[in-house]
Chain A
């Protein structure tokens, strides 16, 4: 499917131009532009309320922008519905962990394989060999993902009963099950302790290589991004607008960044 396009695409995998979004009178995102190269890991940072999550909502089409364009692999996906965007190859995680209530981890994973639809409704109703085969494969694949994330032993536990750190992993595993090319991670380390944070950063780097992903990583905790130095480049947002972009080293010297954070901290 989308893999073939990859070779002839030379431009950026994601290009955002002049995105605007306001809620009532509040300007949440102001003239936001961004360009993400294939295979790049870009950090998107800024103080709380800078509009980072809103940018994600606008990319996946959960919110419709007032103006601006989002282009993914050369396809204009502005204001498409989330399910279309997901199908094209963008998956996201959520800052507030969303576990399907009363559902086992393994079943949550199988649900996330929805897009594969390896059989049709008649296969289900007549229980054809194809259904059995594919369903078994789905289960194996789900377990494979869980093993990769080190949570295979929890496959039969309810997702909502897991500790916080492991729920984060399920969240990322679930996003990967959609076989995305672009992964949007919304504060994946929030609520985690330092050890868990280190492990998760490792995982992120690992899946990036293994699945050939391009990633946008939203953080409001600047240390995660700065100290680890995992991002190829970093975009800094403040009050809905991009204030600067650069590498980790460049930004550490940048006074505007410090000001944005300190300013927000004081106010």
Chain B
């Protein structure tokens, strides 16, 4: 594949960005509430899946502790975005005044939460990176359980299992999709550079990567830091969309959903992660009314909480049996590739 001349590449961006902005603007204006929320959830899931793919798909650091990262980032941001009266008068958190008495805008809160997520992620990674395979998975799993447990059991700082409410509605199309495009862009660009190649080399054959001069620890920390930064931001966007924060919402079940996205899309593929996010978001929302029970011709169908999770489990197992490489394999979606494939099928 040809790498394009840098100048033309730069010139292409304004047009592309302009088109995206226009489409987002139209969607924002025209979509009815339900569909808009769905579109936002899709964007958030995209952020989560693409960033999880950096560790789990590329660097083969299979983490199921990203829920704990979202929790850490989510709380860090929430403590600053919640209205002061809620923090002080309603739930009475025992926190220093410089946290209690301020309410900050979304951008600094996102950055703060992202950085906190990244720091927590790297702190988790440092001991965990000594481990391989199942031990690594186990430690990340434990991390998730611990984070939820801590959040639930320190009511003075987190309001415990009661969770937090009264969030300002910060999340909108611009934040969600702006960040989603950013993370997709970063991932795709990195993949075509020595950095992404180093991640993937580590994922495939750690020993060989080391003998290519790649500093394993450094790159594992890069991968983890980048992945957890955007994962935390995804968590914050989610909290400020559904407007509540319960520790239990970040349990393994959530991680399970994101893992399913990248497995369906194809572990290692950025476009696969986006496709997986779209499928799972749609799937979840279609099933939501069934889960909550509904009426058909006057007959009340009872609620079936958990149906989505159950079906996802079945789908996940089926995919791993029937098409373990997922939809995209490790490839990326590209117009040139599509054109090539089309012209080939015509020629035959």
Contact = CB atoms under 8 A, between A and B. Distances in A.
Q: Is any CB of A less than 8 Å from a CB of B in the complex?
A: yes
Contacts of A100: 200-201, 204-205, 208
A228 interface: no
Given A114-B212, A124-B195, A103 B204 contact: yes
Interface in A166-199: 174, 178
Nearest to B201: A111
A135 B201 CA distance: 18
Interface residues of B, number: 32
Contacts of B292: none
Give the bracket for the number of chain A residues in contact with chain B.
35 or more
Contacts of B4: 132
Contacts of A87: 213
Contact of B213 (A114, A129, A131): A114
Interface in A95-133: 98, 100-103, 107, 110-117, 119, 121, 124-133
Contact of A82 (B186, B201, B211): B211
Interface centre among B10, B195, B204 (most CB of A within 10 A): B204
Given A82-B211, A92-B211, A121 B192 contact: no
Contact of B212 (A125, A131, A178): A178
Contacts of B214: 83, 114
A117 B3 CA distance: 17
A131 B193 CA distance: 9
A103 B212 contact: no
Interface in A44-91: 60, 62, 81-83, 86-87, 91
B213 A178 contact: yes
A86 to B, nearest CB: 4
Nearest to B8: A132
Interface in B150-207: 185-186, 189-190, 192-195, 197-198, 200-201, 204-205, 207
Contacts of B189: 124-125, 127
B6 A86 contact: no
B197 A111 contact: yes
Contact of B7 (A83, A102, A129): A129
Contacts, number: 98
A121 B192 CA distance: 11
Contacts of A62: 207, 210-211
A92 B189 CA distance: 30
Tell me if A's interface is mostly helix, strand, loop or mixed. helix
Contacts of B190: 124
B5 interface: yes
Contacts of B10: 126-127
A178 B195 CA distance: 16
Given A60-B211, A114-B198, A115-B213, A133 B6 contact: yes
Contacts of A86: 210-213
Interface centre among B193, B212, B329 (most CB of A within 10 A): B212
A113 B208 CA distance: 13
B9 interface: yes
Nearest to B205: A98
Nearest to A60: B211
B336 to A, nearest CB: 14
B266 to A, nearest CB: 11
A92 B195 CA distance: 22
A126 B185 CA distance: 10
Contacts of B216: 83
Interface centre among B5, B205, B210 (most CB of A within 10 A): B210
Contact of B330 (A91, A102, A114, A125): A102
B212 A128 contact: no
A139 interface: yes
Nearest to A123: B193
A115 B209 CA distance: 11
A256 interface: no
Interface string A145-179: 00000000000000000000000000000100010
Contact of A83 (B193, B195, B213): B213
A83 B209 CA distance: 8
Nearest to A126: B10
A261 interface: no
B201 to A, nearest CB: 5
Given A114-B197, A117-B194, A125-B189, A98 B208 contact: yes
Contacts of B213: 83, 86-87, 114-115, 178
B141 to A, nearest CB: 25
Interface in B6-44: 6-7, 9-10
B215 interface: yes
B200 A111 contact: yes
A62 B329 CA distance: 32
Interface of B: 3-7, 9-10, 185-186, 189-190, 192-195, 197-198, 200-201, 204-205, 207-208, 210-216, 329-330
Interface of A: 60, 62, 81-83, 86-87, 91-92, 94, 98, 100-103, 107, 110-117, 119, 121, 124-133, 135-136, 139, 174, 178
Instruction: For the complex of A and B, list the 7 residue pairs with the smallest distance between their C-beta atoms, beginning with the closest.
Output: A129-B6, A86-B213, A132-B6, A82-B210, A124-B193, A111-B197, A115-B213
